Amino acid sequence: MASSAAETLIGAAVIAAAAGFLFYGAQTADLGPQGADRYALKAAFRKVEGVSVGSDVKVAGVKVGSVASLALDPKTYQAVAMLTIDSAVKLPDDSDASIQSEGLLGGNYVAITPGGSDLMLAPGEEIMFTQGSVNLMDLVGRAISSAGSSE
């Protein structure tokens, strides 16, 4: 009888821990309703390596949205990202977007630097000034080859 009670308590603890992990995962992954509290913006990049659907969109290091979709424009061969931004954040129409790295082992995110214009981007408009991702291994390779050629 005593072992049955212990097994029940352990099972309840495991279920509570699993529920906690699910709740934390749902909060972190922005799985909540995507309704009127967000608006969409478009941005075309030369390269979006390391960015995927669900990646963060940040202004001054603060998360203000996420990447809703990625597609290739067949005419320009640029990667077109649809970004969802919190409706409380209004961005000037001369803002720029770039792909930034969270660190050597971290993922990439879209960083938006607000411009100085008095006109704000409306839902569905495009961020015109963009900078694509930089491949770290390409930079290391270039540094090594340029160091070797200077000798």
Task: Indicate whether 123 and 87 sit together in one domain.
Answer: yes
- Residue numbers in the chain where pLDDT is lower than 70: 1-2, 26-36, 135-136, 148-151
Task: Indicate whether 42 and 92 sit together in one domain.
Answer: yes
Q: Which domain holds residue 82?
A: 38-135
Task: Indicate whether 27 and 93 sit together in one domain.
Answer: no
pLDDT for 91: 93
Phi-psi region of 50 (alpha: psi -120 to 50; beta: other; left: phi over 0): left
Task: Indicate whether 10 and 45 sit together in one domain.
Answer: no
Quote the number of domains for the chain.
Answer: 2
Task: Indicate whether 9 and 75 sit together in one domain.
Answer: no
Does any domain span residue 14? yes
pLDDT for 151: 54
Task: Indicate whether 4 and 21 sit together in one domain.
Answer: yes
Own/partner pairs for 50-53, CB < 8 Å, 24+ apart?
50/99, 50/101, 50/107, 50/108, 50/133, 51/81, 51/99, 51/107, 51/108, 51/109, 51/110, 51/133
pLDDT for 2: 62
pLDDT for 27: 66
**Which DSSP category does 91 fall into?**
-
- Phi (first) and psi of residue 47, to 5 degrees: -145, 140
pLDDT for 113: 93
pLDDT for 29: 61
Does any domain span residue 18? yes
Task: Indicate whether 26 and 81 sit together in one domain.
Answer: no
Helix (H) or strand (E) holding 84: strand 79-86
Task: Indicate whether 19 and 91 sit together in one domain.
Answer: no
Task: Indicate whether 73 and 3 sit together in one domain.
Answer: no
Which tens digit of pLDDT belongs to each residue from 78-111? Answer: 999 999 999 999 999 999 999 988 877 778 899 9
Task: Indicate whether 64 and 101 sit together in one domain.
Answer: yes
